[in-house]
Amino acid sequence: MAESTLRGRRIVVGVTGGIAAYKACDLVSTLVKAEADVQVVMTENARRFVGEITFAALTGNPVSCDLWAPRADVHHVALADFADVVIIAPATANIIGKYANGIADDLLSTALLTFTCPVIIAPAMNSRMLASAAVQANLEALAERGARIVEPEEGWLACGEVGAGRLPDTGVLVAAIEEALRSRGGPLSGLRVLVTAGPTREPIDPVRFISNPSSGRMGYAVAAEAERRGASVTLVSGPVSLEPPLGVEVVAVTSAAEMHEAVEAYAGEVDLFVGAAAVADWRPAEASGEKLSKDGRDEMTVRMVRTPDVIASVARWEPRPVIVGFAAETRDVVANAAEKLRRKGMDLIVANDVGQPGAGFGGETNKVTLVDVIGRETDLPLMSKAAVAAALLDRAGELIASRESQ
């Protein structure tokens, strides 16, 4: 989970002038290893403890210290545009005091007033300083305004005393970052979404299979959009050549049976299921362990048997999630889709006229009609798969909300 939450995320690490600044090196290195894009901002005092070159080498990005360094953009605003999440580790009494009181007299304190993403403060200082009325009042004020405070740990402090004020280990700081990334708000915040995508492959022998031309784009767009809306998303994907969406846990499968098994592992644990995979309906009854030889044969018969219906089995879960399916049709599109919706126990179906140009398998666009369980029919114009995903999730969100209010 850790890797998928951090991969590709843009993280600003603010380092201020405490002895625990050396621990920020391990934090930054851990984030970079998890494939996050990290920019470090140091205060003048932090540079007395750790050289900026260390952070530059660890992140592969220039380290920012100076509000007045000549640049083409406005640096503190650029940092705010960049950041998905900010962590100040270690945070001294000084930066906490400045942030709580709106003082902006260097790059980090100025940027702090500009960020709109989650901000995590990890205080580290002498225990009496931490307990002081001023620091406590400032931390309280920041927490009230939505900053996330990582509780300092008890232990041996650099000043030789034992008490509260130690910067927690990297694992604790990373967990706070992951938590902040997961709970950034959004209309699907707190919901668990499971999506299937792509084709399945049904083996005939070790080198041959039966499949279909699904690219997986529709399901990947749904997973990415659900994640942007704050959901915790798992994507069970058949073989595709797409990058996993940011922040989404991907479970790779090959056959319909594997997809079924992977989905069943989440039984009862999801709020919304979106079946966008083009699951093969049939598989060869026996997959030969050896490559079938064509020598001496003019024809070959492959006996096929049905594969499990993933959506129909999700419809039997207790509690049952809101279920969205797709129907690729070539005629009587809406009527066939509405019938499929009832038969498989779905709440919403995305009816897809695959005969139309720009719709269905493979491409970037889709032309669909949404039909829901209460009989509403919405004909959408030709649009990108990302826009179809957004429309689908708008409607699914309404269905979840109306269920919750019942």
> Is residue 117 flagged as an active site residue?
no
The reply on whether position 262 binds ligand C5P by CB under 6 A is no
Closest to 65 measured CA to CA, from 110, 98, 30, 101? 110
Of residues 85 and 263, the one with the C-beta less far from ligand C5P? 263
Which range binds ligand C5P by CB under 6 A, 84-92, 121-129, 187-195, 304-312? 304-312
Six-digit token pair at 251? Answer: 């479970």
The residue within the footprint of ligand C5P, chosen from 59, 170, 234, 307 (CB under 6 A), is 307
Stretch that binds ligand C5P, among 17-25, 136-144, 275-283, 297-305 (CB under 6 A): 275-283
Token pair, residue 210, equals 């039966």
127 binds ligand C5P (CB under 6 A): no
Beta bridge partners of 328: 352
Q: What does the alpha-carbon distance between residue 286 and residue 204 come to, in Å, rounded to a whole number?
A: 7
Q: Please, which residues have CB within 8 angstroms of residue 271's CB and are 6 or more apart in sequence?
A: 191, 192, 193, 321, 322, 400
Q: Got the DSSP string for 282-333?
A: EEESS--SSPPP-TT-S-----EEEPP-HHHHHTT-SSPPEEEEEEEESSSH
Q: With respect to ligand C5P, which residue has the nearer C-beta, 110 or 196?
A: 196
Q: Closest separation between CB of residue 307 and ligand C5P, Å?
A: 5
In whole angstroms, what is the distance from residue 97 CA to residue 105 CA?
Answer: 12
Answer yes or no whether residue 118 interacts with ligand C5P by CB under 6 A. no
Residue 232 makes contact with ligand C5P by CB under 6 A = no
339 makes contact with ligand C5P (CB under 6 A): no
- Min dist CB 206 to ligand C5P, Å, is 23
Our finding on whether 341 is near ligand C5P (CB under 6 A) is: no
CB nearer to ligand C5P: pick between 112 and 277: 277
Least CB distance to ligand C5P at residue 328 (A): 6
> Taking the C-alpha atoms of 184, 230, 31 and 149 in order, what is their torsion angle to the nearest 10 degrees?
30
Q: Looking at 65, 80, 95, 279, which residue binds ligand C5P (CB under 6 A)?
A: 279
Through-space distance between the first and last CA atoms of the chain, rounded to whole angstroms: 33
The interface with ligand C5P within residues 178-197 (CB under 6 A) comprises: 196
The residue within the footprint of ligand C5P, chosen from 310, 341, 351, 359 (CB under 6 A), is: 310
CA dist 88 and 364 (Å) reads 40
Please give the Cα distance from 404 to 406 (Å, whole number): 5
Cβ atoms of 1 and 108 closer than 8 Å: no
Residue 173 or 256 having the CB closest to ligand C5P: 256
Contact status: 366 vs ligand C5P (CB under 6 A): no
Residue closer to ligand C5P, measured from CB, 18 or 199: 199
Interface positions, 7-66, toward ligand C5P (CB under 6 A):
none
Strands 272-275 and 192-197 turn out to be parallel
Residue 330 or 402 having the CB closest to ligand C5P = 330
Q: What are phi and psi of 172, to 5 degrees?
A: -70, -40
Q: Which residues bind ligand C5P (CB under 6 A)?
A: 196, 256, 275, 277, 279, 281, 307, 309-311, 325-327, 340
Q: Which residues are catalytic?
A: 159
